[in-house]
Amino acid sequence: MFESVYIRLLTVVLFLQISGNLQADAGIIPAPPELNASSWLLMDYDSGQVLAKNNIDNKLPPASLTKIMTVYVAASELAEGHLSLSDVVTVSEKAWRTPGSRMFIEVNDKVTVEELLKGIIIQSGNDASVALAEFIAGSEEVFASQMNAQAKRLGMLDTHYMNSTGLPHKNHYTTASDLAILARAMIRDYPDIYSWHSIREYTYNKIKQNNRNNLLWRDNSVDGIKTGHTEEAGYCLVSSAQRDDMRLIAVVMGTDGSEARIKASQSLLNYGFRFYETRKLYSSGETVTSVRIWKGDRETLALGLDEDLFITVPRGQYRNLDASVEKNGRIFAPVTRGQEQGMLQVSLAGKDLLKVPVVALEDVQEGPLLHRLKEEVRLFFE
């Protein structure tokens, strides 16, 4: 698992390094929009390529963007069987008293986990966040440690949580880069729970509230994710949209109003969909190349990838991609399936876009003794 996470992070890092180069090349693609925000980022979901960025590693207060992680932790507990949507939560006084946006639960209310999750996702309820955190972990403080553990596991290296709501605290911070990692994980790992982010309104306790993500009404391709606002954080939005087979994630932090965060996010999404396209290069287990293997019970070894590989390029440039495999010298049996045997390198117009390991797609055992001796002779003369 950690190896595949490393490969994904390596790919993202390489894309971060080259995305500016592609944008700067005259005649290929225009520069991304400049936004009046503290930090922003546009990422392709499938490839992980960053298409636009500004101050993406600045540690900033996330406000209610925190609740993406609150929901992610709850979804992981559901997936592991530690929690059920039908479980009943008794609302504490602390949850009821939590300031800020509310689901309007009352002290000692009996509320299901499903209702609380929808109150968090759709209504951005701080009260619901605390109630769910206390139910899962016993206290909000322990729940925050679970949030931090998940952040570390996902590779969110510049994030630290102190609570489940995003209420201000000097040690509660994240970055646009980390939020994009989290958003991508939310969509990938828990698609059923993610689908609730597109629900436009929710009623609890006879009080109907609209989803605070106004992009859901302005762009039918948008299906999430979360708004945030405090005086310290400004107006923030993490959004995602899918058009045809391409999904983008936009992170906008620190704008000066709710309308500004909507316009900035829409501008990023439109830019990405207009000027880029994403293609699958290879499927997991697909043979990328076959190479000579020495002293084995066969003479060729199939090399490929252990997960699907996508790439995002300027529209119309896919046909100009170059791909090559550099293997790790001569390969000798025995070889185990999944063993790294080289690197796949993809470039465009002479610039490296990505490098990912290629692995053996099959086990190869040592050949008979006589065959191995013959191979030794061949190697000697070569």
| Segment 149-179, tens digit of pLDDT | 999 999 999 999 999 999 999 999 999 999 9
> In this predicted structure, what is the pLDDT of residue 380?
85
pLDDT band at 132 (very low <50, low <70, confident <90, very high): very high
Mean pLDDT of the chain: 92
Tell me which residue of 74, 61, 17, 94 sits closest to 175, measured CA to CA. 61
Distance (Å, whole) CA 178 – CA 151: 8
Contact 252, 225 (CB under 8 A): no
Rounded CA gap, 271 and 34, in Å? Answer: 11
pLDDT at position 372: 82
- pLDDT (mean) for 226-246: 97
Band of residue 206 on the pLDDT scale cut at 50, 70, 90: very high
The string of DSSP letters for 278-331 reads EEEEE-TT-EEEEEEEESBSSSEEEEE-SS-EEEEEETT-GGGEEEEEEE-SSE
Complete domains list, the chain, with CATH: 32-275 (3.40.710.10), 283-381 (2.60.410.10)
pTM assigned to the model? 0.90
* Stretch among 5-9, 40-44, 78-82, 109-113 having the lowest mean pLDDT: 5-9
* Average of per-residue pLDDT across 48-58: 97
Which pLDDT belongs to residue 27? 45
What pLDDT, on a 0 to 100 scale, did the predictor assign at position 266? 98
Contact 109, 130 (CB under 8 A): no
Residue from 39, 124, 164, 240 carrying the catalytic annotation: 124
pLDDT of residue 370: 87
124 is known as an active-site residue: yes
pLDDT at 216: 98
Please report which helix (H) or strand (E) contains residue 250, including its range: strand 246-255
Q: Is residue 286 packed enough to be buried (19+ CB in 10 Å), middle (13-18) or exposed (0-12)?
A: middle
Which residue out of 64, 76, 92, 164 is catalytically annotated?
64
Give, for 241, the enclosing helix (H) or strand (E).
strand 234-243
What pLDDT, in 10s, does the model give residues 280-297?
999 999 999 999 999 999
Q: In this predicted model, what pLDDT tens digit does every residue of 59-102 receive, in sequence order?
A: 999 999 999 999 999 999 999 999 999 999 999 999 999 999 99
Write down the pLDDT at residue 375: 79
Which residues face 225 on adjacent strands?
A: 239
pLDDT of 3 above 90? no
Active-site annotation holds for 263: no
Let me know if 129 is a catalytic residue.
no
Q: What is the pLDDT of residue 178?
A: 98
Catalytic entry in 67, 118, 263, 295: 67
